[in-house]
């Protein structure tokens, strides 16, 4: 599936494995949370990611996080906003600096929210139009609350300038 970063399509170097799939011994793989131990048993240095279900507390990853290069959060439907809090908690509470990938069925209209909660990449759902996502990326230049991106203040009050956001 197409992968979006900073509003642009990028190559996806990761392999996502299911609960019953054979785990490749080398190469970057994303394992389900219930196979995290298997993933960690791979040779040190092999890139590992984990797919976090939306009902999981990110704190379960605390011990493994230094070994993880990617955490995938998911939207079972776009209405289920738990992934926003998970992404934010990963960045803010666990200081996770790796890739936070969004999977499932988000809407392009949620893109800015995702970025401001700490997401790095979005695995576009089937049928998504990358152009609409790219447009959503640039639509707003102002926000009214702090975020994990620590955008600079815009004038007075609570406002943040999104135009030249960090990274």
Chain positions contacting other proteins, by CB under 8 A? 57, 78-82, 84-85, 88, 92-93, 107, 109-110, 112-117, 129, 132, 135, 139-147, 150, 154-159
The two three-digit tokens of residue 24, written as one number: 């490749």
The two three-digit tokens of residue 34, written as one number: 């219930």
Closer residue to other proteins (CB): 46 or 92: 92
Could you tell me the smallest distance in angstroms from the CB atom of residue 40 to other proteins? 25
CA distance 65 to 2: 26
Q: Which residues pair with 99 in a beta bridge?
A: 70
Closer residue to other proteins (CB): 156 or 167: 156
Could you tell me the smallest distance in angstroms from the CB atom of residue 145 to other proteins? 5
Q: Which residues pair with 122 in a beta bridge?
A: 4, 102
Closer residue to other proteins (CB): 68 or 89: 89
Q: Given the DSSP bridges, would you call strands 142-143 and 48-51 parallel, antiparallel or unpaired?
A: unpaired
């Amino acid at each position: 599936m197409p992968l979006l970063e900073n509003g642009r399509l990028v190559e996806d170097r990761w392999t996502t494995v299911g609960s019953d799939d054979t785990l490749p011994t080398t190469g970057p793989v994303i394992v389900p949370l219930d196979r995290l131990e298997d993933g960690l048993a791979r040779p040190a240095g092999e890139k590992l990611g984990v797919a976090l279900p939306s009902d999981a507390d990110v704190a379960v990853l605390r011990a493994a996080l230094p070994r993880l290069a990617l955490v995938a959060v998911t939207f079972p439907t776009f209405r289920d906003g738990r992934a926003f809090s998970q992404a934010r908690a990963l960045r803010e509470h666990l200081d996770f600096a790796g890739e936070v990938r969004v999977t499932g069925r988000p809407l392009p209209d949620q893109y800015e929210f995702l970025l401001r909660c700490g997401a790095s990449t979005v695995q576009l759902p089937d049928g998504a139009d990358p152009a609409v996502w790219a447009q959503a990326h640039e639509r707003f230049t102002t926000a009214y609350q702090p975020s994990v991106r620590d955008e600079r203040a815009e004038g007075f009050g609570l406002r943040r300038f999104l135009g030249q956001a960090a990274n």
